[in-house]
Structure 1
């Protein structure tokens, strides 16, 4: 290695704890974690590491060991996860680490299988997670400005960050204590919004860096998409082509790190899935390593499920289902196998790569060789073909055929061990097999959600209130209700909303519905309506589909009704009554206890909007994953044994005419052998008789 690359980073004056540590390390893990301009250094050894994002709340504790094991078999060295602030502190000062929130248990499961951990504390995470992971109660703190040089926000951010760090320390989970955590992240892609805060943006970045370094974790910190990350915090790349787009470390003493290599992309309701090929992922990973990258994280390696109301605005319940491990934790081929083979090829020559200087040789107009040579006998090469056609090049006097848009890896500079365009893994097919049908009306009971009257509301205002500030994420739903006198039987209703869905009821009858889209949540609903002569009651049910998760000044984002007109009359400053949530939610009729609090009726021939549907079922035999086929429904939410498995919106089809998501994952750990309670709230007029419970298999 060149002398300048051997120089271990020198800490700035405010670095209180050197990262040269002496704790013992068990198994495949190590206690000394530092870095230089080439890579992370673990126990004195430079490492090329492959990491995979698996988020603990997007699966169940029962799934964690299998997910970790499959990642390890796929050549993954590190499991990366965010920390979800709004899950762990849902109410200010009240913390929760139970069930799917048990981050300590998750990390210990990773440690038990000999893998490392990267902990992305954030505490803003985005992640297509409601409110970007920030708890909604932050919104009500006087004078707060999120993610800025703002004392109220910095106080809360530091308090939570320290809470998580101390939790990790109390269980000896940092590498400096013999644990698996080798890297931590503060903030998340802040560079994309930093200019919005002018001179305050860089001040906040420096404060955040200094704050976390002062927490004495004993492992390096990283900031992704943050070109101005202050020393000793490492700046890192996010994206699909970091081998091409990354400007590189902002100091010669920092390694080149890729914190998010997107294995597909998130999907919103109404959008088609994004399919990224195994060949494309492998090509970009190989290029990044060839250009001296030493840490690659796949985002996501397993996406999992956005249970309950945790997904961000318009996000479907399935998250990164096209990852190497699909939503159900099944191996998705050829992506999983192709990347496994890539990892093996790179690791076979990683010592040569890390201990050698790199040279770049031209092999043609669009062909290059990246060569790492330590001695006459130690040599590794990456041969890149940028062209869209196959070419033959000569390297060290030997001809090599390079497929279009590919990189060949030669661990000994002679034999090709791997080519990114040549996939040897067999393609797998996922099959959904119906095993339980709910086609008998006698199986179902129904409860009609009441449309509230203004006389029954306790919250009143002479203006239209913001839904986020009013509902405070206690429910997706907020009723806006008013009454007025009218002399004609016909009129025109116009209502504008900042999202996300609106149902209008005139004198108890549905008059119309409208909604926005992921890229433009605002919309206007215009309808001809029939009125009574005299007093008329209009009730709007406004529904959000997750809270926004990105952008500067998140605390200013609003939702719900913004203006209402009937005919030529403006009702924006009329007397309005409000009801947060549904009666069924308040009574928790999706639970065994709560369902006894209302009068259920047998399902009739017709279905009405705002209906609750209830039935029971026995768990299918076997161990295959289970999914609920809701292809016959409209929009709503579904619960199994009192646990919400997420929002569904089957009626919002893609440009190709298909639902963005039809099947909804029910983890087997939620089920009993028999008598499982299934409850759905349907906003529209879906048909529950065509719902089925399917097992999920791969072939």
Structure 2
């Protein structure tokens, strides 16, 4: 059978009452996806179900639809669905079936990016950590153990979708699926094991007979019939095009901003720039499917963010972290979608020509057999330009594209923003400024003699914790002939290290996204006799990309105690160390109602490291989104009624001196009317008495002159932003 006939055999044609033929096929040609026999230009938006809540899904999808979005695209999160081998979870925020059925209920299509490696700034790239301990495994290569488990999970998801009749071939909304993710960026590292893996993955996916096409993004040699797709900021310029004349041009990730890391400033991408590159992709590459990554970013709840990634994810998307409409992005793109739809038939069925309008100006023209004409006039100059097209003059702002659905009247220009800028504000609704509101509990620093896991060397962090906790204690003890002042030197490939000598805190160090590992140098005082050293290694998410993830190492690599003058150094690297995974508070789950009674809490005193804080509050009235302002805290994690709202790291500043993130989303669905338990674990210190609970709302519309283009995320006082 010819490869291009593969999708045709998946046509579902049922003769219904009155002889009506119901078709549910999705095919494609060299111009577009073809749904129910109709070629389509489709605008898609990424909304990830675990990064929001089921209560938010209907509103998010509705706002996307109102913004001219035709399809919702989501990854499938393997490590959340199969946290333990063979044990699956599809409940709550992980109810992917409910999510896709909501998409269907609102009349939109769905794209399912199964991966199952996804990257996505998601811890371990979405792979479950139990894979790490599978004998002889090499992730994402022509490796039998990995292929076995990858196929198991992919088949599990496909069969789940089939059982719920969610593929378009069954009358459902799923029109497109993805296997693997940006593999070309790592393929060369696997040498001869790379290309066979690509061919296997494609054949495995196609063999599951979903009845809809499959794509591979950033894989220019995607095997037939899998479609190769583009990811990036400027696919209208960078995409080499489909690897077959029978495949359409697809853009699976048009980055509406970029993710942010702790210690890094937000990346701001203007509405004009996004619209310019969408229009260019349609005009110059004949693109017919464009997905915005992200359309709604949401929240990395719990410990789901990858290394150093902030809890807030793509807040600069058309729908912000809380699901509020961000203007002018949302409105400007809505107008773009409407303008393209005015001439979609001509774009899909017409013949294409182009002509020069100047040194940096060009016309892309589409004409169909009926004589209809559509044109995209491009100004690639950094200056405004006047061009002549078909005996008419057009004023084109710098770096802009005008859309003429009839080759005469301009209905939209990517550089002319008519949507007003809006303003997002917070209002304090609950304060926690009374010491009587809080209780505290200091976590226990373990002793060597109390540990059951021991080794004569420094164990690797991730392989020891199995991602059950961010924290791994390294503890040891040794005899000292006399009291003395010395220096403790620790080299680590972890993200943070805290040091304690004889139960006294002596210092901390941390790395950054761009600098792997960290080094601690601290003055210490040793006692005559027995001395104890306890070092807490901390990960802020696991790595999410690159080849050979299974070989990555983290945690302490070298420990020295150095004396003054001629005293020399003692190397404790290959010494007897005891280990404890996680914290006592984690073991006791003191962040939920039941666990909070397992320890003895006390009144709030002076700020100390490794401190748990708890208080309670009533749910504020109204429906506006809620955030905790944790700007007064250092680094740690926050829970509401036992549910983690994510990691915070307010003490890690961006170059201008502001925290990377101070506001942390509290979904209203996490709350009960009264008596809500708030628990924080604070590593450095921090001041819980300055925490506030705020509502977030759009308060007014403002002109561009007041705010400028996409002003910064948070103002210093966090009262008014963007």
Provide TM-score, normalisation by structure 1: 0.97
Structure 1 10/52 Cα, relative in aligned 2: closer, same or farther at 3 Å? farther
* Map of 2:629 onto structure 1: 629
- SS where residue 64 of structure 2 aligns? helix
Determine the C-alpha separation between the residues in 1 that align with 2:271 and 2:2: 39
Determine the C-alpha separation between the residues in 1 that align with 2:291 and 2:171: 23
Determine the C-alpha separation between the residues in 2 that align with 1:30 and 1:276: 41
Q: What do residues 662-683 of structure 1 show as CA deviations (whole Å, max 9, x unaligned)?
A: 0000000010111100000000
Which of these residues, 127, 134, 139, is aligned with residue 127 of structure 2?
134
When the two structures are aligned, how many residues end up with a matched partner? 686
Any gaps of 5 or more consecutive residues in structure 2?
A: 17-21, 563-568, 700-722
Check the 8 A contact 1:257/1:295 in 2, yes or no: yes
Check the 8 A contact 2:375/2:403 in 1, yes or no: yes
Determine the C-alpha separation between the residues in 2 that align with 1:10 and 1:243: 31
> Is 1:65 aligned with 2:58?
yes
Check the 8 A contact 1:41/1:47 in 2, yes or no: yes
* Map of 1:610 onto structure 2: 610
* Map of 2:670 onto structure 1: 670
* Map of 1:408 onto structure 2: 402
Determine the C-alpha separation between the residues in 2 that align with 1:159 and 1:279: 43
> Is 1:22 aligned with 2:16?
no
Determine the C-alpha separation between the residues in 1 that align with 2:486 and 2:526: 7
Structure 1 153/694 Cα, relative in aligned 2: closer, same or farther at 3 Å? same
Which of these residues, 56, 66, 71, is aligned with residue 49 of structure 2?
56
> Is 1:651 aligned with 2:651?
yes
Q: What do residues 299-344 of structure 1 show as CA deviations (whole Å, max 9, x unaligned)?
A: 0000000000000000000000000000000000000000000000
* Map of 1:696 onto structure 2: 696
Which of these residues, 33, 44, 55, is aligned with residue 40 of structure 1?
33
* Superposed counterparts of 1:93-492, under 5 Å: 93-291=86-284, 292-375=286-369, 377-487=371-481, 488-492=483-487
Check the 8 A contact 2:461/2:494 in 1, yes or no: no
Check the 8 A contact 1:16/1:213 in 2, yes or no: no
Determine the C-alpha separation between the residues in 1 that align with 2:353 and 2:13: 35
Determine the C-alpha separation between the residues in 2 that align with 1:20 and 1:37: 19
Q: What do residues 556-592 of structure 1 show as CA deviations (whole Å, max 9, x unaligned)?
A: 1111101111111111110000000000000000010
Determine the C-alpha separation between the residues in 1 that align with 2:182 and 2:514: 20
Check the 8 A contact 2:261/2:308 in 1, yes or no: yes
Any gaps of 5 or more consecutive residues in structure 1?
A: 1-8
Structure 1 147/433 Cα, relative in aligned 2: closer, same or farther at 3 Å? same
Determine the C-alpha separation between the residues in 2 that align with 1:473 and 1:577: 19
Determine the C-alpha separation between the residues in 1 that align with 2:516 and 2:38: 50
- SS where residue 422 of structure 2 aligns? coil
- SS where residue 3 of structure 2 aligns? coil
Give the deviation of 1:21 after TM superposition. Answer: 3.8
Give the deviation of 1:12 after TM superposition. Answer: 6.9
> Is 1:565 aligned with 2:591?
no
Q: What do residues 533-555 of structure 1 show as CA deviations (whole Å, max 9, x unaligned)?
A: 12110000111000000000000
Check the 8 A contact 2:12/2:170 in 1, yes or no: no
- SS where residue 247 of structure 1 aligns? coil
* Map of 2:85 onto structure 1: 92
> Is 1:496 aligned with 2:487?
no
Q: What do residues 199-238 of structure 1 show as CA deviations (whole Å, max 9, x unaligned)?
A: 2101000000000110000000000000110000000000
Determine the C-alpha separation between the residues in 2 that align with 1:114 and 1:23: 21
* Map of 1:595 onto structure 2: 596
Structure 1 10/290 Cα, relative in aligned 2: closer, same or farther at 3 Å? farther
- SS where residue 184 of structure 2 aligns? helix
Determine the C-alpha separation between the residues in 2 that align with 1:191 and 1:20: 32
Give the deviation of 1:30 after TM superposition. Answer: 6.5
Determine the C-alpha separation between the residues in 2 that align with 1:614 and 1:194: 48
Check the 8 A contact 1:186/1:222 in 2, yes or no: yes
Provide TM-score, normalisation by structure 2: 0.94
Check the 8 A contact 2:629/2:663 in 1, yes or no: yes
Check the 8 A contact 1:388/1:405 in 2, yes or no: yes
Determine the C-alpha separation between the residues in 2 that align with 1:190 and 1:24: 42
Give the deviation of 1:73 after TM superposition. Answer: 0.1
Determine the C-alpha separation between the residues in 1 that align with 2:170 and 2:14: 6
Give the deviation of 1:19 after TM superposition. Answer: 4.2
* Map of 2:551 onto structure 1: 556
Give the deviation of 1:353 after TM superposition. Answer: 0.5
Determine the C-alpha separation between the residues in 1 that align with 2:307 and 2:480: 37
Determine the C-alpha separation between the residues in 1 that align with 2:337 and 2:134: 47
Check the 8 A contact 1:23/1:32 in 2, yes or no: no
Check the 8 A contact 2:11/2:23 in 1, yes or no: no
* Map of 1:586 onto structure 2: 587
Check the 8 A contact 2:365/2:374 in 1, yes or no: yes
Give the deviation of 1:375 after TM superposition. Answer: 4.3
Q: What do residues 395-431 of structure 1 show as CA deviations (whole Å, max 9, x unaligned)?
A: 0000111110000000000000000000011101110
Check the 8 A contact 2:7/2:212 in 1, yes or no: no
Structure 1 323/285 Cα, relative in aligned 2: closer, same or farther at 3 Å? same
Check the 8 A contact 1:22/1:176 in 2, yes or no: no
* Map of 1:4 onto structure 2: none
* Map of 2:710 onto structure 1: none
Give the deviation of 1:499 after TM superposition. Answer: 1.3
Give the deviation of 1:24 after TM superposition. Answer: 9.1
Give the deviation of 1:382 after TM superposition. Answer: 0.1
Give the deviation of 1:18 after TM superposition. Answer: 3.0
- SS where residue 9 of structure 2 aligns? coil
Give the deviation of 1:16 after TM superposition. Answer: 8.9
- SS where residue 352 of structure 2 aligns? strand
- SS where residue 652 of structure 2 aligns? coil
Determine the C-alpha separation between the residues in 2 that align with 1:23 and 1:597: 61
Alpha-carbon RMSD: 1.3
Determine the C-alpha separation between the residues in 1 that align with 2:371 and 2:142: 54
Determine the C-alpha separation between the residues in 2 that align with 1:110 and 1:692: 35
Task: Return structure 1 stretches of 4+ with deviation > 6 angstroms.
Answer: none
Q: What do residues 163-194 of structure 1 show as CA deviations (whole Å, max 9, x unaligned)?
A: 00000000000000000000000000000000
* Map of 1:521 onto structure 2: 516
- SS where residue 689 of structure 1 aligns? helix
* Map of 1:3 onto structure 2: none
Q: What do residues 358-402 of structure 1 show as CA deviations (whole Å, max 9, x unaligned)?
A: 101100000000000114740000000000111111000001111
Structure 1 376/20 Cα, relative in aligned 2: closer, same or farther at 3 Å? closer
Check the 8 A contact 1:23/1:31 in 2, yes or no: no
Check the 8 A contact 1:328/1:665 in 2, yes or no: yes
